[in-house]
């Protein structure tokens, strides 16, 4: 399964908001500048997050976006499902042989478990430097 830029940048937005939780709203322009991302693209991603009730907007000169609940109550699954849709390693599993269908189910369940047990607070608190030193490879 490959998470697209929708999911990756959506997580970036949400982590930035989590790091700022309980403070003033953050404009998307600031997040775009901080992470060198397209503000226009982030605007497209924030709408489904708002529609799903994960963020709210504050209008005005000091406006921006805020999380609607504590970061520890929002999971990575909430964000990824909102932006990417259902979690599936393959499109259709019903047509597969039983042995392969079981493999796809196990992969799906493992990914789902990681996403559902990782909170936005976990991601916001994570020390990027330690992660990069310990994980210098791709699976």
The pLDDT tens digits of the residues spanning 88-131 come to 777 766 677 888 888 888 988 999 999 999 999 999 988 554 55
- State which H helix or E strand residue 138 sits in: none
In this prediction, residues 66-88 reach a mean pLDDT of: 93
Q: What is the pTM of this model?
A: 0.83
Geometric angle at alpha carbon 131, from 128 and 132, rounded to 5°: 85
CATH topology for 5-134 is Arc Repressor Mutant, subunit A (1.10.10)
79-83-89-91 Cα dihedral, nearest 10 degrees: 150
Q: Residue 27: its pLDDT value, please?
A: 95
Q: Give me the half-sphere count of Cα atoms (radius 13 Å) on the Cβ side of residue 42.
A: 23
Q: Where along the chain do its domains lie?
A: 5-134
Give the list of residues 6+ apart from residue 96 with CB closer than 8 angstroms, or none: 90, 104
Mean pLDDT of 11-29: 94
pLDDT of residue 58 exceeding 90: yes
Whose tokens are 């908001």? That residue is 17
């Amino acid at each position: 399964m490959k998470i697209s830029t929708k999911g990756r940048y959506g997580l970036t937005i949400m982590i930035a908001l989590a790091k700022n939780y309980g403070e003033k709203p953050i404009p998307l322009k600031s997040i775009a500048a901080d992470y060198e991302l397209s503000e226009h693209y982030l605007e497209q991603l924030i709408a489904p997050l708002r529609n799903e009730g994960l963020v709210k907007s504050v209008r005005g000169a000091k406006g921006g976006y805020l999380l609607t609940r504590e970061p520890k109550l929002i999971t990575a699954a909430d964000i990824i499902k909102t932006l990417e849709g259902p979690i599936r390693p393959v499109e259709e599993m019903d047509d597969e042989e039983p042995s392969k269908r079981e493999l796809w189910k196990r992969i799906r369940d493992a990914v789902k478990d990681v996403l559902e047990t990782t909170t936005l607070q976990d991601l916001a608190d994570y020390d990027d430097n330690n992660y990069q030193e310990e994980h210098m490879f791709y699976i």
